[in-house]
Amino acid sequence: MNQGWNLKKIVIIILAAAGIFCADFIFERHQKNVVSTTPYPYIFQKDLYDGLEVDAPIVIIGDRLGDRLGSFSKLMAKRISQNLSKPIKIQNLAQKGEGLHRTLKKLKSLNKQPLIIIYLGSSQEHYEKRFKTSEIPTIKKNLKLFSDDRVQTLLMVFPELSRYIYHPVDYVKLSQDLIEDKEEYDQISTQKRNEITFKLFESEVDELITYAKDRNSYFLAISAPINLDVPPKSSCPGSFDESFRAKLDNVIELIKKKDYKLAYSISKELALINNSNARSHFIHGKIAKKLGKDQEALKHLELAAAFDCDNWRSSPVYNSILKRTADKHDAAFFDLHALLQDNASKGVVFMDDIYPQNLYLEKTANTIADRIKKLLKL
């Protein structure tokens, strides 16, 4: 009799403990997590951008690149309005230093939805801190959960469940002030931050295009121009050792002696041996270009930019994500980066490390204006 009673007490205690644990678990996640179908590690000030006014049917969004394109908005508007009695307006909402996370928040806060949205950005995704390095393991777990189609479907129907599905993170709180992240990160942390930023960018682009199309806006994405003649600022850790560095230095000496054929042979081998070293790709790309191997040169200069472990410009990775996501949603895409590379042999296509020559921005503006005219049947 006593043994049976003791067993019952043990079961009751276990069930009570489990109940307390579950209650604590639910309470903690309810308190710490916000409702969000996508597990972004940042939250915005409650009233940020609320009622942001737009008084034009066409808007330009993005970062410093979008802002530069915005300086050609009058030219675009004039070209679109050629056959109209009343000129069409284009409003520039792009802002220097603005990552896609803010662009998306801004678009969702507009007082009315624009007819046409033009996006050019991805060159300042690291300008503002939007997650803490210490939270990267948790962010990875949450993004893995989000990648499960069953989880996405469930949260689309019951978004409140996101509080309990995702692991709690220490959110970065973002306000009106756009503050540059000046924290010094070691190379390993930088590499990890890059990985997370690419994943966040992919989710944000998907949400941006979906949001626009669901509201019957025409969305046009423009690839970020990348000056491939500028060397990468940093190679990621693990992509080289002292022996590899010495071999690259030997290639540079051969270049100085104008022994391009031998330099080409060695640099090609090094680029194959260590496919993730930005410096080796850049050196081989420049040698291939010198020898007239333009397609091979372009391939390795693109890889050099992609594996650059410093975050000071856009990356072919962002452009690839943007193109893939635009194709997925059947959204329009204009390849400004390809336009510049196609014209690189004709002369200087960039005015500095970041911005293309105005000639090519004007060509882009005219091409986009013509697409809009065709879309609007003007």
Domains of the chain: 34-227+315-378 (3.40.50.1110), 242-306 (1.25.40.10)
82: exposed, middle or buried (Cβ count in 10 Å: 0-12, 13-18, 19+): exposed
- Nearest-angstrom CA–CA distance, 283 and 328: 35
Q: pLDDT category, 16, cuts 50, 70, 90?
A: very low
Instruction: Tell which residue, 308, 294, 301, has the closest CA to residue 343.
Output: 294
The answer to whether 246 and 276 are in contact (CB under 8 A) is: no
- The Cα–Cα gap between 245 and 304 comes to 16
User: What are the distances in angstroms from CA 286 to CA 129, 243, 296, 337?
Assistant: 34, 22, 10, 18
Banded pLDDT at 238 (limits 50, 70, 90): confident
* Token couple for 100: 């896609």
Q: Which of 32, 107, 95, 51 is nearest to 69 (CA)?
A: 95
Q: What is the pLDDT of residues 60-80, one digit of tens each?
A: 999 999 999 999 999 999 999
Q: Please tell me the predicted confidence (pLDDT) of residue 237.
A: 84
- For 119, the 3-state DSSP assignment is strand
If pLDDT is split at 50, 70 and 90, which confidence band does 353 have?
Answer: very high
Write the pLDDT tens digit of every residue in 116-164.
999 999 999 999 999 999 999 999 999 999 999 999 999 999 999 999 9
Provide the β-strand partners of residue 333.
Answer: 221
Q: Give the pLDDT band (50/70/90) at residue 248.
A: very high
Which amino acid type is present at position 24?
A: D
pLDDT number for residue 9: 56
CB atoms closer than 10 angstroms to residue 289 = 19
C-alpha–C-alpha distance, residues 22 and 17, integer Å: 9
pTM above 0.75, yes or no: yes
User: Which pLDDT does position 20 carry in this prediction?
Assistant: 47
Distance of CA 342 to the CA centre of its chain: 24
Is pLDDT above 70 for 115? yes
The string of pLDDT tens digits covering residues 26-59 is 656 767 789 999 999 999 998 999 889 999 999 9
Mean pLDDT for 159-182 is 94
Question: 7 falls in which pLDDT band (50, 70, 90)?
Answer: low
Distance CA 50, CA 111 (A): 8
Pairing of strands 58-62, 172-174: unpaired
Interatomic CA distance for residues 92 and 333, integer angstroms: 19
| pLDDT at site 77 | 97
Which pLDDT does position 48 carry in this prediction? Answer: 94
**Burial degree of 192 (CB within 10 A; 0-12, 13-18, 19+):** middle
pLDDT surpassing 80 at residue 21: no
Contact by Cβ (8 Å): 80, 209 = no
pLDDT above 80: residue 12: no
Give the pLDDT band (50/70/90) at residue 274: confident
Long-range contacts of 349-357 (CB under 8 A, 24+ apart): 350/225, 350/227, 350/229, 352/227, 353/227, 353/230, 353/313, 354/64, 354/65, 354/123, 354/227, 354/313, 355/65, 355/68, 355/225, 356/225
Q: Is the dihedral of CA 162, 163, 169, 174 positive or negative?
A: positive
